[in-house]
Amino acid sequence: MRQIGVVIAALAFAAAAQGAAAQEAAAQEAAAQGAAQGWTLEQAAVVEGFLVPECLCPDPESGAVYVSNVEAAEDEYWNDDGKGFVSRMTATGEIEALRWLDTDPLAVLNGPKGLCILKGNLYIADNGRLLRCPIKEKGPVAEVPLPRTGKLNDLATDGEFLYVSDTELGLVYKVGPTGSQTIIQAPPSVNGVTCFRGRLFAVGWDTHEVYELDPSGDNPPVPFGVAEHFTNLDGIEVLADGTFIVSDFMGNQVCSIAPDRKTVQVLVQLESPADIGIDRTRGLLYVPQFMLNKAVIYKLLRP
């Protein structure tokens, strides 16, 4: 009888533990779904007049937003034609200088795409080159050497290191403050990259998947398993609660992915959303419409 009682007690304990685990899992799933479904967008402004805008990069300190302009015809976006430039606008969308940083014989811009701000410098992915420009003085423009490049696409920073995606080579460069370089394993056709609380994330254009990358470069990318929801992913950002925002260029949509990395919600449908940017301080999402030569600013709202 004593043995039977022990067995029954053990079974009861196991059942209670399983029940608690199931409740915890259900609570986590509900929280994740709530995080995804809670976010909505409210259009705040539409800014026109750009020339093939690829990336919108907010500077939380000044409120300025930098816009890369490829200024090229279709099928010529990766040509080294010396026509690109960077615009500067206010947080609310007033263009302060359309050609804030223009191409110049001494500092050529070809097809600027990804932008990133780190320690007072604006970094620019310009086809096969990584460029750096001081923001306050607006120059001089200098090239940051990389060992081998194909098509440099997006940029991100964790506040110390710079991460540069190369869509053609399918890798991400990690560039240190002293110029040190580490190759980060990335998916084929890696596009947008972003950093969040010590972690590194990226999206693949052809794979239309979202991944977590290993910032040390030791381990391969880990897919979320959400590719079925997308067509060709371009940009990625992460909100403070761990919700991911991604732009699906050919799918003509901007979506959220809950912290559970499974629950996907369409936030807005619009044509050719490219490399998005987020100003967490002001709660604003910036979306370039690559093919329409304009950008849309949204307020990020929770109920």
Mean pLDDT for the chain overall: 90
Query: 40-48 and 53-58 as β-strands: parallel, antiparallel, unpaired?
Result: unpaired
Instruction: For 63-98, give one letter per residue: b (16+ CB within 10 A) or e.
Output: ebbbbbbbbbeeeebbeebebbbbbbbebebebeeb
Instruction: Give pLDDT tens digits for 246-259.
Output: 999 999 999 999 99
Instruction: Give pLDDT tens digits for 183-231.
Output: 999 999 999 999 999 999 999 999 999 999 999 999 999 999 999 999 9
Query: Which homologous superfamily does the CATH classification assign to the domain defined by 39-301?
Result: TolB, C-terminal domain (2.120.10.30)
Higher pLDDT, 303 or 112: 112
The answer to whether the peptide bond before residue 140 is cis (omega within 30 degrees of 0) is yes
Nearest to 164 by CA among 142, 192, 141: 192
Cα–Cα distance between 71 and 158 in angstroms, integer? 29
The domain segmentation of the chain, as residue ranges, is: 39-301
- pTM (predicted TM-score): 0.87
